[in-house]
Amino acid sequence: MVVFAGQGDARRSMALLWRTEEPGESRPGPKPGLSVDVIVDAAIAVADAEGMAALSMRKVGERLGRTGMALYTYVPSKGELVDLMYDKALGELPTAYDLAGGWRAAVTAWAEHLWRFYQRHPWLLQVSQARPVLGPNEFALLESLVAILRETGLRPPRLRGVVSLLFDFVRGAARTVAESRQAPSATGVSDEEWWLTRSRLLEEVAPGFAARFPMVAWVESEGGVPGEGEPYVEHKVNEAFTVGLTVLLDGVEVAVGAG
């Protein structure tokens, strides 16, 4: 069950995200042996290495030579820790893009950066987006995109729609890649092999598949040609990203033209 932080808790969360804490005058008691940043880094390391599902307070604590409970001195709950991981990870993205080549080139660069970023940290896609995090790096990412799109001259309502569309598209596309990567690596078979097995299984379990879903069969049949050594699925996914982005940007140009 997702629990939403109350008023006071919200303030605490935001303070953590924005790192607004006075250093504090010297006070009694032992010096902190850990810090929020150290903990968040350790948690990200666990997630990168073993995936989101394997992330537990005990495991993060262990990595730092502590018990899981020690973390609660620095972080109110696991949920907050995940928010902090999310925002911190976003920090590795660029914050500004060159507009010399026009907005279209810049948006393309932005989208490709984000796309690759999600592929580098696939666990981010599993972070429940049930709540906006509102951290500094999330805003920085938004800022960088809006700064580009303002060049189009679109007014805010239309521009907001384009922003959402871009975020949804990149996230969705990245998710598809994560799928096609995760499955083979976990089973030890190549993705080509995996899909072959899968489609054979389909014919076995759903005889007459092609007759029942003629359009699906048609659209999947006429294949693109993968480059040398490029895995089949990888090719399809890259192709979908490129095509999708082109279509999307063409649509933006239409909107720009319409004023």
Among positions 28-47, residues that touch DNA (CB under 7 A) are: 28-34
The interface partner of residue 162, options being a copy of itself, DNA, none and the CB cut-off 5 to 8 Å by kind, is a copy of itself
Q: Which is nearer to a copy of itself, 234 or 239 (CB)?
A: 239
Measured in whole angstroms, how far is the alpha carbon of residue 57 from the centre of its chain? 22
What DSSP letter does each residue of 81-142 carry, written as one string?
A: HHHHHHHHHHTTS-S----TT-HHHHHHHHHHHHHHHHHH-THHHHS--SS----HHHHHHH
For the window 52-91, what string marks contact with a copy of itself as x by the rule CB under 8 A? -xx-------------------------------------
- How many angstroms separate the Cα of 154 from the Cα of each of 84, 161, 206, 252, 253? 33, 10, 49, 9, 10
Name every residue whose Cβ is closer than 8 Å to that of residue 13 and which is 6 or more positions away in sequence. 5, 76, 80, 83
Task: Answer yes or no whether residue 51 interacts with DNA by CB under 7 A.
Answer: no
**Part of the chain binding a copy of itself (CB under 8 A), chosen from 57-65, 86-94, 109-117, 164-172:** 164-172
Least distance (Å) between residue 148 CB and DNA: 38
For DNA, the binding residues in 216-235 under the rule CB under 7 A are none
- Are 87 and 141 a contacting pair, CB within 8 Å? no
The interface partner of residue 38, options being DNA, a copy of itself, none and the CB cut-off 5 to 8 Å by kind, is none
Cβ neighbours around 137 below 10 Å, total: 18
- Are 158 and 99 a contacting pair, CB within 8 Å? no
Least distance (Å) between residue 8 CB and DNA: 14
Which is nearest to 233 in space by CA: 189, 201, 202?
189
Least distance (Å) between residue 3 CB and a copy of itself: 7
Task: Answer yes or no whether residue 226 interacts with a copy of itself by CB under 8 A.
Answer: no
**Part of the chain binding a copy of itself (CB under 8 A), chosen from 34-42, 48-56, 97-105, 108-116:** 48-56
Least distance (Å) between residue 101 CB and a copy of itself: 19
Cβ neighbours around 199 below 10 Å, total: 12
Least distance (Å) between residue 86 CB and DNA: 15
Measured in whole angstroms, how far is the alpha carbon of residue 43 from the centre of its chain? 16
Task: Answer yes or no whether residue 213 interacts with a copy of itself by CB under 8 A.
Answer: yes
Task: Answer yes or no whether residue 93 interacts with a copy of itself by CB under 8 A.
Answer: no
Task: Answer yes or no whether residue 50 interacts with a copy of itself by CB under 8 A.
Answer: yes
The interface partner of residue 28, options being a copy of itself, DNA, none and the CB cut-off 5 to 8 Å by kind, is DNA
- Are 174 and 115 a contacting pair, CB within 8 Å? yes
Name every residue whose Cβ is closer than 8 Å to that of residue 55 and which is 6 or more positions away in sequence. 43, 46, 47, 82, 123
For DNA, the binding residues in 65-124 under the rule CB under 7 A are 65-70, 72-74, 77-79
Which is nearest to 180 in space by CA: 239, 113, 95?
239
Task: Answer yes or no whether residue 33 interacts with a copy of itself by CB under 8 A.
Answer: no
Name the residues that contact DNA, by CB under 7 A.
Answer: 26-34, 54-59, 61, 65-70, 72-74, 77-79
